[in-house]
């Protein structure tokens, strides 16, 4: 199978639509909701309804962040498919060219929705259709080591009883339900970790507080506690069986689909910084010549060309990871490579653009300083830079998590 890394023709209309939305709807309110942290961006309701309509009509495959379900149809393995995963990462990148925090605030476009799309069975997909799902993984006792989860889920009749505390839950207050990661049996380690859809309003579920943050301030980030919260056993995503042989693989399948989405967010935010910086450099009399060696250009132009090449590497890795998912290829290695590269590049590019534009970049006169603040989280959540490099090393060397820590 050969991969063409240009945007597929069938997705170009979707990408163009996303760019128009980013430019005309998100950019104009970007600063407003950065300043008004915790205030819900009501303008997004109309946009969410539009995306829902496109999805219902089938006119826009993979619009938004939820189109990450893997196609299990093996009837035509020889054909190359550009499906929902590729559509999602390209449209998400365009939306983050507008504003990352606002994308993360989109109703029914949460990372929990991506988790449901990735691992839910057909009955669950139908039951949770139209719900806005946040995802709760991180706890006070750990950050990136998802296997250290201590939140418990104990089966009691037809319900699981969940106890624990989750922090840094994106859209934790605004969402309709929460995909909660909990362990069925701590003594069995990673294999016993499962995800559960917990409806808001369930007795024992409480949003304790909202965090104040460096960036993505339009998006609410919550601390949520679960005290004897009872959840129907049908709300466990995937298989309830504990397969020690499989280990953490079932849970990690969610990340294989969501990490390229976060990488795409970094790609989009960095692209916004590059586009504006090129224009500002031009206004200052510095032309970036793509046909001339960097060594023959000004220091600012040479730096800009280096940032462009780093950005392109992150973009291509992101497209590759999504394309592999569409074509039913294992992509755990590529998903982590894309997240590691794009996350680091996103942060480097946006901060370097602030530096290149000096006082204009550092002030609130332009959005450059905001994008630098927003991009940092994309190198942290869904697995930090260091965790991604560890995963890549394990995959390349063929070592287990116990063998390489």
Question: Could you give the CA distance from residue 364 to residue 31 in angstroms, rounded to a whole number?
Answer: 9
One of 37, 364, 382, 403 is an active-site residue; which one?
382
Residue from 143, 330, 342, 142 nearest 249 by CA: 330
CB 177 within 8 Å of CB 199: yes
Measured CA to CA in angstroms, residue 344 lies from 176, 311, 347, 372, 387 at distances of: 32, 10, 5, 12, 12
CB atoms within 10 A of CB 159: 16
Question: Could you give the CA distance from residue 308 to residue 22 in angstroms, rounded to a whole number?
Answer: 21
Question: Could you give the CA distance from residue 149 to residue 146 in angstroms, rounded to a whole number?
Answer: 6
Question: Could you give the CA distance from residue 21 to residue 221 in angstroms, rounded to a whole number?
Answer: 24
* Apex 251 CA angle, 401 and 128, nearest 5: 165
Cross-strand partners of 183: 152, 193
Helix axes 249-283 and 332-356, enclosed angle (nearest 10)? 20
CB atoms within 10 A of CB 63: 24
Token pair recorded at residue 273:
């910084």
Helix axes 299-326 and 332-356, enclosed angle (nearest 10)? 160
244: left (phi over 0), alpha (psi -120 to 50) or beta: alpha
Question: Could you give the CA distance from residue 386 to residue 344 in angstroms, rounded to a whole number?
Answer: 10
CB 109 within 8 Å of CB 152: no
382 tagged catalytic? yes
User: What are the phi and psi torsion angles at 230 (to 5°)?
Assistant: -100, 125
The DSSP letter of residue 71 is P
Question: Could you give the CA distance from residue 91 to residue 405 in angstroms, rounded to a whole number?
Answer: 35
Residues annotated as part of the active site: 382
């Amino acid at each position: 199978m050969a991969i063409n890394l240009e945007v597929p023709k069938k997705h170009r209309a979707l990408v163009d639509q996303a760019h128009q939305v980013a430019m005309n709807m998100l950019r104009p309110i970007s600063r407003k909701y950065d300043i008004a942290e915790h205030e819900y961006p009501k303008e997004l309701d109309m946009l969410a309804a539009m995306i829902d309509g496109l999805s219902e009509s089938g006119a826009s495959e993979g619009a938004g962040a939820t189109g990450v379900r893997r196609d299990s149809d093996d009837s035509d393995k020889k054909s190359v498919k550009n499906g929902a995963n590729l559509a999602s990462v390209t449209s998400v990148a365009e939306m983050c060219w507008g504003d990352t925090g606002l994308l993360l605030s989109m109703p029914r476009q949460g990372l929990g929705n991506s988790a449901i799309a990735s691992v839910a069975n057909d009955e669950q997909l139908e039951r949770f259709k139209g719900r806005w799902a946040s995802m709760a993984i991180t706890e006070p006792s750990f950050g990136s080591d998802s296997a250290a989860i201590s939140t418990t889920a104990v089966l009691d009749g037809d319900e699981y009883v969940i106890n624990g505390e989750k922090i840094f839950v994106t859209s934790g207050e605004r969402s309709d339900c929460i995909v909660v990661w909990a362990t069925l049996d701590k003594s069995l380690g990673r294999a016993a970790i499962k995800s559960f859809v917990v409806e808001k309003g369930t007795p024992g579920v409480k949003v304790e507080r909202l965090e104040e943050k460096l960036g993505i301030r339009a998006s609410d980030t919550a601390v949520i506690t679960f005290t004897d919260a009872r959840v129907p056993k049908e709300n466990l995503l995937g298989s309830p069986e504990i397969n020690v042989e499989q280990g953490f693989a079932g849970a990690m399948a969610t990340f294989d689909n969501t990490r390229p989405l976060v990488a795409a967010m970094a790609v989009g935010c960095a692209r916004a910084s590059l586009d504006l910086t090129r224009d500002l450099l031009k206004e200052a009399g510095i032309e970036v010549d793509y046909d001339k060696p960097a060594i023959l250009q000004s220091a600012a132009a040479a730096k800009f060309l280096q940032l462009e090449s780093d950005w392109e590497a992150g973009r291509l890795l992101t497209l590759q990871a999504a394309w592999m998912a569409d074509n039913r290829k294992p992509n755990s290695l590529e998903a982590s490579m894309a997240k590691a590269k794009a996350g680091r590049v996103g942060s480097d590019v946006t901060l370097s653009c602030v530096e290149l534009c000096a006082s204009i970049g550092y002030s609130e006169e332009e959005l450059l300083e905001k994008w630098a603040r927003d991009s940092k989280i994309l190198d942290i959540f869904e697995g930090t830079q260091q965790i991604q490099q560890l995963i890549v090393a394990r995959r390349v060397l063929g070592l287990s998590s116990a063998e390489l820590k």
